[in-house]
């Protein structure tokens, strides 16, 4: 989309080798005012720029297209490197701009490109980083000559993005769990640098929080930690009927529905299972890819969920956010929302509070880390086993015009099965927690 703001440019193909792309760029530099994917090479390094604009006499501006709502630190470093390679190729860079997403704007379809992006000149940011790039480049070149990989912490491998080569560096310690220590990654890094790789080996002299002490004790004894008072206090807050609610939602960078903005959470599917005090459980779900699902979901939920009982979600932030953002478009449901929003109960609370902790959770309090150790349930029988895949598959269902009806129906079923599994997991968790209290 960003290219639409700089039309009539010539493109250097992504499929060319660095040498071929560099040669093609040199030809285009002669008389092309705008080049897409311009490529430059110097010994040991090459770079590609999203948009290169010819100002005059070998002086150029770089325009970088970002899919983020604000320029990131990695954008600055990457663009400083582009400037380094281009200027060492014999050209000058005047200004560097980042086009980033205007995530606050509610769009009407079709989207107007001039409104979709914001533009920011980042010369001041580059000026701080650029003097360091040459030394950083030399450092990178020295790495392949090392006999062993450089010493890093696991944190270094995950920021700003996960390293795809971490198994090479970590294979000898792949079973360590020191970085599962909650609340303080700096402490985990310090312990690792002191050759402590397992929770059970943390010295007793180390000052730990309550949560960390529970983790360490469970790791040493391989026993489950339960605080009955905390579990019972949580369960006593619940009132029948129990509405077990789970959404699947997309938050696309380019809005696909009218009256929506970039990164807005759009629910496209829900599973609702209603448990009455008698023990009866009713379920319902909805999916429709041919229209804006927000109105249909609000219509259905406002009919099914009454101002009574508890609405149980695991990490209820997404469910509440989806409803609130949907109601901003359909305010006629606001009265219903005001009547029920105080009934939400976050099922993750007793686990985040460590009222229950099983060492098999590995320090995590996510639904999937809890469900198998606590209840024995798992997601292995499902075609879709995580929310990110559900997100992508729905977008395929919505946007891929080549899908036949058979594949569409299969995708719908897989999505519904995954969403429903989450509410079934929540039911199983509540019943198991009650069983723990009753057995005590």
Average pLDDT over residues 320-334: 94
pLDDT, residue 383, reads 92
- 240 confidence band (pLDDT: 50, 70, 90): very high
pLDDT, residue 63, reads 96
Mean pLDDT across the chain: 89
| DSSP per-residue codes, 367-383 | HHHHHHHHH---STT-S
pLDDT, residue 162, reads 58
pLDDT, residue 332, reads 97
The rounded distance, in Å, linking the Cα atoms of 221 and 202 is 14
Q: pTM (2 decimals)?
A: 0.84
Q: Which CATH architecture has domain 224-440?
A: 2-Layer Sandwich (3.30)
- Indicate the range of 126-130, 395-399, 434-438 predicted with least confidence: 395-399
The rounded distance, in Å, linking the Cα atoms of 112 and 171 is 49
- 159 confidence band (pLDDT: 50, 70, 90): low
What residues form DSSP beta bridges with 346?
Answer: 313
Tell whether the model's pLDDT for residue 16 goes beyond 90: yes
- 440 confidence band (pLDDT: 50, 70, 90): confident
CB 65 within 8 A of CB 80: no
Average pLDDT over residues 273-291: 81
Domain range list for the chain: 2-140, 172-223, 224-440
Average pLDDT over residues 229-239: 96
Helices and strands in the chain, H and E counts: 16, 13
- 168 confidence band (pLDDT: 50, 70, 90): low
pLDDT, residue 176, reads 78
What residues form DSSP beta bridges with 34?
Answer: 53
Average pLDDT over residues 365-372: 95
- 399 confidence band (pLDDT: 50, 70, 90): confident
Q: State pLDDT tens for residues 84-104.
A: 999 999 999 999 999 999 999
Average pLDDT over residues 296-316: 94
DSSP 8-state symbol, 124:
H
């Amino acid at each position: 989309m960003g290219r639409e703001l700089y039309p009539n440019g010539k493109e250097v193909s992504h499929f060319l080798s660095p040498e071929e792309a560099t040669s093609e760029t040199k030809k285009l530099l002669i008389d092309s005012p705008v080049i897409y994917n311009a490529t430059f090479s110097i010994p040991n390094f090459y770079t590609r720029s999203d948009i290169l604009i010819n100002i005059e006499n070998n002086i150029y501006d770089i325009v970088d297209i970002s899919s983020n709502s604000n320029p990131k630190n990695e954008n600055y470093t990457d663009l400083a490197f582009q400037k380094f390679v281009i200027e060492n190729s014999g050209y000058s860079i005047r200004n560097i701009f980042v086009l980033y997403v205007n995530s606050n704007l509610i769009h009407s379809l079709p989207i107007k490109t001039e409104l979709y992006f914001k533009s920011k000149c980042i010369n001041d940011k580059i000026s701080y980083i650029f003097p360091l790039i040459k030394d950083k480049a030399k450092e990178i070149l020295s790495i392949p000559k090392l006999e062993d990989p450089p010493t890093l912490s696991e944190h270094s491998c995950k920021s700003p993005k996960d390293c795809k080569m971490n198994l090479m560096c970590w294979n000898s310690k792949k079973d360590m769990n020191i970085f599962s220590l909650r609340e303080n990654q700096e402490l985990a890094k310090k312990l690792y640098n002191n050759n402590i790789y397992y929770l059970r080996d943390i010295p007793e002299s180390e000052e730990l929080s309550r949560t960390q002490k529970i983790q360490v004790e469970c790791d040493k004894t391989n026993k489950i930690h339960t605080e009955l008072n905390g579990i019972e206090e949580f369960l006593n807050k619940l009132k029948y009927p129990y509405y077990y609610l789970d959404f699947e939602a997309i938050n696309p960078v380019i809005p696909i529905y009218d009256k929506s903005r970039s990164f807005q959470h759009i629910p496209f599917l829900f599973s609702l299972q209603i448990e009455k005090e008698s023990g009866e459980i009713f379920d319902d779900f909805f999916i429709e890819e041919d229209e804006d699902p927000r109105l249909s979901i609000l219509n259905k939920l406002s009919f099914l969920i009454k101002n009574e009982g508890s609405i149980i979600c695991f990490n209820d932030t997404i469910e509440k956010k989806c409803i609130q953002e949907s109601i901003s478009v359909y305010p006629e449901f606001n009265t219903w929302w005001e009547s029920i929003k105080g009934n939400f109960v976050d099922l993750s609370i007793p686990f985040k509070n460590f009222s229950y902790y099983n060492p098999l959770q590995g320090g995590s309090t996510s639904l999937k880390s809890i469900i198998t150790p606590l209840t024995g349930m798992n997601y292995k029988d499902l075609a879709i086993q995580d929310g990110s895949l559900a997100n992508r598959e729905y977008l395929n269902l919505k946007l891929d015009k080549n899908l036949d009806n058979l594949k569409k129906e299969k995708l719908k079923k897989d999505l519904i099965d995954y969403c429903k599994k989450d509410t079934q997991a929540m039911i199983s968790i509540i019943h198991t927690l009650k069983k723990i209290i009753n057995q005590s």
